[in-house]
């Protein structure tokens, strides 16, 4: 698998580090990791250049993950970039809503590196 530039969006800095570590433990070769604390910050982070993968929490202040995914359609550097939602939301409606907004997958918190591998690698492979 090619080297991956990832954007991790979560209002918890600890969770962003956990996601990064889980990606590495899942065997994903991260060449660059950008972080954002909410959807608005993530949109700003995309101005620094394109990424290959976005992992995004749903529940965040300022701009939640669903609104972020909706707004990605208008960001030139982000068109077609796969988004995997990471959420504590257990309801099926949140998952369906995320997928209908453009997300390509989701992972429920808490998660293991094996679950990250199971859900993220196919998304990356289908994107190439």
- Looking up residue 94, the CATH number of its domain turns out to be 3.40.50.2300
Average pLDDT for runs of 10 along the chain of length 128? 90 96 94 96 92 93 92 82 85 78 88 91 84
Q: What is the reported pTM?
A: 0.92
Q: Which residue has the tokens 């293991």?
A: 112
pLDDT of residue 91: 65
50 token code pair: 């394109």
The total number of structural domains in the chain stands at 1
Find the domain containing 89 and state its range. Answer: 4-127
pLDDT for the residue 90: 62
Adjacency order of strands within the sheet including 105-108: 30-36, 4-9, 53-57, 83-87, 105-108
Alpha carbons 64 and 30: distance in angstroms, whole number: 25
The whole-number pLDDT of residue 98 equals 81
């Amino acid at each position: 698998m090619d080297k991956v530039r990832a954007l991790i969006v979560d209002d918890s800095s600890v969770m962003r580090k956990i996601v990064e570590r889980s990606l590495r433990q899942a065997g994903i070769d991260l060449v660059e990791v950008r972080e954002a604390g909410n959807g608005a910050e993530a949109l700003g982070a995309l101005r620094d250049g394109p990424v290959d993968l976005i992992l995004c929490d749903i529940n965040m202040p300022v701009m939640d993950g669903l609104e972020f995914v909706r707004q990605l359609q208008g960001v030139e550097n982000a068109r077609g970039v796969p988004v995997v939602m990471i959420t504590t939301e257990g309801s099926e409606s949140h998952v369906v809503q995320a997928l209908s907004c453009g997300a390509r997958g989701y992972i429920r918190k808490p998660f293991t590196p094996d679950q990250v591998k199971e859900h993220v690698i196919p998304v990356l492979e289908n994107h190439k």
